[in-house]
Structure 1
Amino acid sequence: MKYITDTISYPRYCSKAFQLYFADMDMGVLDIETTGLNPQQSKFVLGGLLTPFDDQLEAAQFFAETLEEEQETLRAYAAAVSEKDLVFTYNGQHFDIPFIKKRSQVPLDLPFNLDLYLLVKSYSPIRAFLPNLKQKTVENFMGFWEHREDEISGKESVDLYYSYLSTRDPAVRDKILLHNHDDIVQLYRLLKVLEKSDFHKAMSRMGFPIRSQSGIRLIIERISTSENQLRVRGRQREPAISYRCFEWDEIPCSAHFDKEKKTFVVSIPLIRHSGLMLVDLKALKMDIVSFEKYPGCQEGFLILEEQGEKHYLQTNHFIKLFLERILNQWIIKK
C-alpha cells in the first residue's frame, strides 16, 4: 500500500448555517476509485480523504499498488474515515459508502455522510438549469472548473489502473492519483453549493450529526411528528451507550439508547393549538436565550410549524441543543 499526503492552501469553508450544524466537528471529504461499479465483483483500489484546517487542506490518499493489497488499503482508509464526525461525498450515499461497506471484511463505524449530489438533486433550484448532475457539471456551474488539472474520467481511471498493474509506470499511477486528488479538492470547493439550497429542509430530511463534550456521537436519521410528540431516531457511533428514561428532572421526555443495536430514539412532547405546533421551552427547561432570535419564540414557547408551514431551522436547532443536553447532562449525571 502507498500512502500519499499533500497540503493545499485554501481557506476553510464557513457560513452561519454550516456552523450551526458542524461547528467544532472533525470533517473530511471522501472519494474512492474502484475497478468497477459492482462491489461483489470489483475491488477498492484508492481512497481519498481531505481534511480542512484554518487556511489549508490536507489530502490523504490510500493506494493499493496491487489487487492483493485491497484489504490492507481498505482497512487503513476506513480507520482514517471512522475518526471523522462527518464526511462530504458526491453520490457517496449510493456508491462510495455502500462499496466500502461491502468490500470491508470487518464491521465499520462510519461517520455521517452529507451527499452533495442528493442535496443538489432534491433541495436546490440549480438542478433545473443543468443538463445533468455530474460533479464536473456542477463544478462548471459554480465556476470551479478552471481549478481542475486532471483530464480523465472515472472509466479511464479504471483502465489506467490495470495498465499500471502490468507496466508499473509511475506516470500512469500519478494520473490516477491526480484524478482522485482533484475530485476531493473540487468537492470541498463545492460546499458553496449549500448556499444555493434549502439547507435546513435538507438537514431535516437527510439528518445531521450530534457530538457530546465527552465524545459520544450520534447520527440523526429520522425526524417525525405525531399529534403530540416530536420523535427523533438515529444510530449511535462508537462508543455506544445504554440509557433509558421516561422523565428527567421533571422534564416530560422519553429517551432510549440501545447499546447492542447502536440506535437511539428520543420523544419530546408537542403542543398543537390554532394551527400552531410548539414546544414548551420552559417546561423542557431549555435556555430560552438560544432561541430568542427567532420570531416564533414567544413567552417561552417555540413555534415549529405554523398553518402547515414547517420551520425547519428552528426545529433542527431545537433538536440539536436538546440532544446535546441529554448527552452532556442527563447521561453523564445519571
Structure 2
Amino acid sequence: MAYEVEDNPQALKQKLLEEYQDKSLEDMKYGEELETSRGSCYCFTTHEKLEIETLTEKKVNECMASDLKLIKGIGEAKERKLKENGYNSLDDLKEHPSYGAPACELLEKLESRDVCALTDWISTRYSASHPLNLLLSSLSGAENMLFMDIETLGLSDVPLILIGVAEGDGDGLTMKQYLLRDLKEEKAALEGFLSHQEKDNVYVTFNGRSFDVPFIKSRMRFHHMEKPLNSQHLDLLYYSRRQWSNQLPNCRLQTLEKYLFGVEREDDVPSSHVPEFYLTYRETGNIGPLVPIIEHNREDVVTLARILSLLHQCADQED
C-alpha cells in the first residue's frame, strides 16, 4: 500500500509502523544500551563530517578592543567623545586617568583567553545575545562547544524523550543521542548528557535559552540531580534573526536549513507530533515512529553547527 506522507504525519506514522513492524532498536545502526550511575538508556553515536568555521583570535581581539563601551561608565556619547580625542581602542585607553585601570584589566583577560571571565565581563554591559558573545565563542574553539537539542513529551512538566549533544572534533561533529526506551530512563539520559559537560564548554542551541536549558534544569530538579549546568550559552535564534530576518520568510530552524544550506528534509516528523509518535512507539512496541524522531533531532543538532559556522563567516566579512 502506498502512502502520501508529505505534510501528512499520520500517513508517515502508518508507513513507518508497517516498515519496522518486525524490527527492534538493536537493528538500528550506531546504537547500544548505555549503563550510567542512574540506570540505563539507549545511546546512538554518529559522526558528521563538517568544517566548523571560527574567527581568528586577532579578529576577536580587534572587535573587543575597539568597543570602549565594555568599560563601566562609557556609553555611546562618551565613547564617541573619547574616540574624537584619540582613544580609539582599549590599548589607547590604558593611559586614561579614569578608565585606564579597567581597560588594563580587560586587556589582560583578552591576552589570557579567559573565555569565562570575558563572558562574565560582557554580561555586565550587554545582553546575552550581543554580537560580542558570538565573536567570543571562537576563542573557545569548536572542540569546547556542545551543540544540543532535546525532544520532549510537551512544553513543560513532562519527561524528556531524547537528548542530542554533539562535540566538535578534528573533522566535524561526534554526536551522542540519549533515548528513553521507557520514561523510567530519564535520569540515565540526563546523566549521559551531563557526562559531556566541562567547565569551559559553551552550549550552542536554537531557542535553548528559553526552552531546552530551562527544561533540562526542571527535569534535573524533578529527579533531585544537583549538578549545575554551565552558564556559557549561545542561543543561535537571536543571532540568526539579527543576521537574516530581513532576507528570509522567517528564522525557523528548517527555514534556515532550506535557504542557507539547500536542505529539505524527507519523512520528517513535525515537532508538534513528536509526543504522539513517541507514545505510539510506547503503546505498540514498534520502533517505526521513533526513527524520524531520532533523525529529526540529529539533523537539528547538525544544523546548529552549520549555522554557527556561517554566522562566524558573516562576522569575519564585517568591518
**TM-score range with shorter-chain normalisation?**
0.5 to 0.7
TM-score w.r.t. the length of structure 1 is 0.53
Is it true that 1:110 corresponds to 2:238 in the alignment? no
Aligned length in residues: 197
**1:165 and 2:282 aligned:** yes
Contact 1:12 1:54 in 2 (8 A): no
8 Å CA contact 2:142, 2:169 repeated in 1: no
Unaligned runs of 5+ in 2: 1-40, 61-134
Does structure 2 conserve the Cα–Cα contact (< 8 Å) formed by 1:27 and 1:85?
Answer: yes
- What is the aligned counterpart of 1:77 among 193, 209, 220? 193
- Which of the pair is proportionally richer in helix? 2
Secondary structure of 1:65's counterpart equals coil
Query: 2:74 corresponds to which residue?
Result: none
Shift of 1:170: 2.1
- How far 1:179 moved relative to its partner? 1.0
Tell me, yes or no, if the aligned pair for 2:53 and 2:312 is still in contact at 8 Å: no
Question: How large is the RMSD of aligned CA atoms in angstroms?
Answer: 2.7
Q: For 1:35-114, what aligned pairs fall within 5 Å after superposition?
A: 35-38=153-156, 40=157, 42-82=158-198, 85-104=201-220, 105-111=224-230, 112-114=232-234
Question: Going by fraction, where is strand more abundant, 1 or 2?
Answer: 1
Given the alignment, which residue of 252, 260, 268 partners 1:151?
Answer: 268
Deviation per CA, 1:71-125: give whole Å up to 9, x if none.
222222233245661121000000000000011022233231100002223x32x
User: TM-score, normalising length from structure 2?
Assistant: 0.56
User: Hey, what's the Cα distance between the residues in 2 that align with 1:62 and 1:31?
Assistant: 11
Cα pair 1:28 1:84 within 8 Å, conserved: no
Q: Which amino acid aligns with 1:21?
A: L
Q: Secondary structure at the match of 2:268?
A: coil
8 Å CA contact 2:167, 2:173 repeated in 1: yes
> 2-side partners of 1:84 and 1:64: how far apart?
28
Give the distance between the partners of 2:178 and 2:199, measured in 1 at CA: 15
Task: State the Cα distance separating 1:182 from its structure 2 match.
Answer: 0.9
Q: 2 CA distance for matches of 1:117 and 1:192? A: 14
Q: State how far apart, in whole Å, the 2-side matches of 1:7 and 1:116 are.
A: 22
Aligned 8 A contact 2:150 2:297 in 1: yes
**Which residue pairs with 1:2 in the alignment?**
42
**Contact 2:52–2:306 (CA under 8 A) maintained in structure 1:** no
Deviation of 1:24 after TM superposition, in Å, equals 7.2
The match for 2:301 is: 184
Identity %: 27
Structure of greater relative contact order (alpha carbons < 8 Å, 6+ residues apart): 2
Rounded to whole Å, the distance in 2 between the matches of 1:29 and 1:78 is 13
